[in-house]
Amino acid sequence: MPPVFYTDKLSKRPIVTSVSVMTTLKWFALTLCLVLTACNSQTSTTSEAENSHSDRMNIVSPDWGNAATLTAMGHAPIATGDVRVWDRWVGSPKLPISITDLGIRYQPNAELIAQLPVDMVIDNYFYEHARNLYGDVPAESVMSAAKGETATWADYTEPTRKLGMLIDNPKMAEDYIVQSQKDIQLASQQFQQRYPKANKFAVVQFADANNMRMYVANSLFQPALEQMNRELVVLGKGNQWGFVPIRMGDLAQLDDETCLLIIDPLSPITRAEIDNSLIWQRLGYGNTRCVGELPPVWIYGGMSSLVSLADNLSEVSLKGGEVL
């Protein structure tokens, strides 16, 4: 385009103004507007993201079972109790470092609770006595346990789905159930490759060198082993907690094909006393009979305990007996 000429009345000199320069100035102004609009849009998006994050429900659960399953699902509570000994009794999943320790689970710290931004408390009947400490915060009970004499897979999927409803995210719970079943099946395959002949298990936890709890059909070991195509062997009918108390000599009733699984924790003193026990030596575990020791799993937990148990079993080192 040819330049446009006009005369400055004061200077009497012709001045050249290019239309292309004027066009550039217009584009610069338009670009500046777009940039400012984009910045404003980005600020709005960031604000919306922050609001979305703030909509996440702040759950407090004094119960380890619910706390563990919520954490494994991806919606960890902001607080639970006895965090200092979590690794000793629960193990997996690991709690986020940001979680608040309520103190003793059965008697949580009231002053600490008053400072927490709690939207809901998820507990079970064992902790209902402490609900008054949370003021007018709504509380819901979720319990993973056998409804009959034998625990089933449904006894653990249903409470998981209830947790999903309570946190307003049923899909998260459903996805976790599906993934849990896949994880257990994978653990089963890994165990099968290592110990193809080990199919029967008795599960105990020592109270001292001579007394123990044997976990039976109404404990979480039943559905976990069943999902792994393994058999749980028991000596008697369990109480409401899923175990029957036995003494070391009672283990002689188990057949030679049954592998004994010992659930930690096991103190060094108790371990030494067991090794020195003449009864234990006569039983032959580790020599003529199969035995294995598993890391801690929260025995009164939910779906996450089933997965942890399967994972632990897939990595266990068994010794003794003909099944190996």
Res. 313 pLDDT band, cuts 50 70 90:
very high
> At residue 58, does pLDDT exceed 90?
yes
Top-confidence residue, 93 or 12: 93
Q: Please give the Cα distance from 72 to 302 (Å, whole number).
A: 10
Res. 46 pLDDT band, cuts 50 70 90:
very low
Q: Between β-strands 200-206 and 139-141, what pairing exists: parallel, antiparallel or unpaired?
A: unpaired
**Is-cis flag, bond preceding 93, omega within 30?**
yes
Name the amino acid, one letter, at 158. E
Q: Please give the Cα distance from 307 to 310 (Å, whole number).
A: 5
pLDDT of residue 55: 76
The answer to whether 302 and 284 have CB atoms below 8 angstroms apart is no
pTM for the predicted model, two decimal places: 0.81
Of 56, 87, 81, nearest to 66 by C-alpha is 81
Q: Please give the Cα distance from 247 to 78 (Å, whole number).
A: 41
pLDDT of residue 322: 83
Q: What is the mean pLDDT of residues 256-272?
A: 96
> At residue 74, does pLDDT exceed 80?
yes
Model pLDDT for residues 210-221, shown as the tens digit of each residue: 999 999 999 999
Of 263, 249, 214, nearest to 235 by C-alpha is 214
Q: Between β-strands 200-206 and 231-232, what pairing exists: parallel, antiparallel or unpaired?
A: parallel
Measured in whole angstroms, how far is the alpha carbon of residue 26 from the centre of its chain?
A: 59
Bridge partners for 60 per DSSP: 79, 121
Residue found under tokens 């064992």: 126
For the CA atoms of 68, 73, 76, 77, the dihedral, rounded to the nearest 10 degrees, stands at -70
**Is-cis flag, bond preceding 62, omega within 30?**
no
Per-position DSSP letters for 288-310, written without gaps between them: TB-EEEE----TT--HHHHHHHH
pLDDT of residue 323: 78
pLDDT of residue 166: 98
Q: What is the mean pLDDT of residues 140-155?
A: 96
